[in-house]
Amino acid sequence: MVQPRDKSEADSLKPDLSHLGLSHAEPSQPKLQLTDFSSPSLPKTASSDTYLFISDLHLCASRPHITIAFLDFLETTALKAKALYILGDLFEYWAGDDDIDDAFHQQIILAFKTLANTGVQLFLMHGNRDFLISQRFCTAAKITLLNDPTLVVLHGKKALLCHGDDLCTDDTAYQNFRLQVRDKNWQKEFLSQSLETRKKQIVSIRTHSEQEKSQKSAQIMDVNSDAVNALLQAYHYPELLIHGHTHRPNQHQIQLDGHDMTRWVLGDWYEQGSYLSCDQYGCQDIRL
Ligand SMILES: [Mn+2]
């Protein structure tokens, strides 16, 4: 059992996120997020040197076995880690932060808050299902929201984190949809409707998208290698690229412009949980 660390220590472990501003809008001048946890000046009492990465959990009340597996993961594996990064699609869908009072959501929020209170740092990136998660949820769950993409340093190695949907450029219909729903004005208008109306709309959008997906080829729904290469170039060849979204867990070696890089694809949690665990010796994908 890991004892909760005192508050001041937990605060001192928080990275300075004030310079977060990485986006595709300014790829020529990427800023490095100040998340170099390998700095020797950090307290030695951190329970572990391990960073965990998960994505595509698609949590919802109708898949209780996955919720149980996830809560167990938080209480055991994640409890021993230094930080947990959730790279999008934590929830099957998110209709807006006014839905945090829902009993199912409260259960997840409580689990995150409990974990964060032990000193484990929690980070969340939007996926294509839960991009409406906002500050109210993050404050309640004690999670820091990250931009997509975000560059971090893990044990001296640069790792670029993203959800991955942005890289599926062959799927032009999806990219057009993405542009629409990520537009601030669209979101403002959508959120101005009642929670009930929004949920109904999401169900209808999802039904439509599932129908479309069944007619798309597997290749169209995977990442486009030119898009991957362009991203790696824009961020000055980070040693690691970690993303989810495609539900094709794998490790890909990339050689580009004389640089060796590894692209890790995280698995989804539809049938079984899985995570990527990175420490000073490297990364390992583990299935629960
Ligand atoms: Mn996704």
Expressed in angstroms and rounded, the spacing between residue 54 Cα and the centre of ligand 1 is 12
Q: Which residues pair with 232 in a beta bridge?
A: none
Classify residue 4 by its DSSP letter.
P
Give the Å distance between the CA of 64 and the centre of ligand 1: 20
Q: Amino acid identity, residue 146?
A: L
Q: How remote is the CA of residue 9 from the centroid of ligand 1, in Å?
A: 34
2 within some domain: no
Dist. CA 90–CA 67, nearest whole Å: 11
CA 85 to mean position of chain CA atoms: 6
Residue with more model confidence, 211 or 172: 172
Question: Phi/psi of residue 253, each to 5°?
Answer: -90, 135
| 228, pLDDT greater than 90 | yes
Using the mean position of ligand 1's atoms as its centre, give its distance from the Cα of residue 246 in Å: 7
Q: Please tell me the least confidently modeled range out of 38-52, 225-239, 259-273.
A: 38-52
Structural domains in the chain (count): 1
Confidence of residue 214 (pLDDT cuts 50, 70, 90): confident
Q: What is the Å distance from ligand 1's center to 17 Cα?
A: 24
CA proximity to 66, closest of 108, 101, 98, 99: 108
Find the domain containing 219 and state its range. Answer: 30-38+45-287
CA of 245 to the centre of ligand 1 (A): 4
Asked if pLDDT for residue 260 goes beyond 90, the answer is: yes
Compute the distance from residue 244 Cα to the ligand 1 centre, in Å. Answer: 7
pTM: 0.84
* 222 in a structural domain: yes
Is residue 25 assigned to a domain? no
Is 68 part of any domain? yes
Residue 176 covered by a domain: yes
What is the 111 CA–ligand 1 centroid distance (Å)? 22
How large is the average pLDDT for residues 81-109? Answer: 97
Residue 208's pLDDT is what?
A: 87
- Is residue 20 included in any domain, yes or no? no
Separation between Cα atoms, residue 151 and residue 158, nearest integer Å: 7
Closest by CA to 281, choosing from 47, 44, 50, 122, is: 50
Nearest-angstrom CA–CA distance, 92 and 223: 21
Interval between CA 1 and ligand 1 midpoint (Å): 34
Q: Is the model's pLDDT at 47 over the cut of 90?
A: no
CATH code where residue 72 lies: 3.60.21.10
Cα of 182 vs centre of ligand 1, distance in Å, is 14
Q: Please give the backbone phi and psi of residue 95, each rounded to the nearest 5 degrees, phi first.
A: -85, -10
**Cα-to-centroid distance, 91 and ligand 1 (Å):** 10
Residue 19 lies in a domain: no
From start to end of the chain, where are the E strands?
51-54, 83-87, 121-125, 144-146, 150-154, 157-162, 240-243, 250-256, 259-265, 274-279, 282-287
Q: How far is the CA of 243 from the centre of ligand 1 (A)?
A: 10
Is 214 a member of any domain? Answer: yes
pLDDT tens for 51-93 read 999 999 999 999 999 999 999 999 999 999 999 999 999 999 9
Strands 51-54 and 83-87: parallel
Residue 48 has pLDDT above 90, yes or no: no
Of 118-132, 200-214, 225-239, 250-264, the poorest mean pLDDT is in 200-214
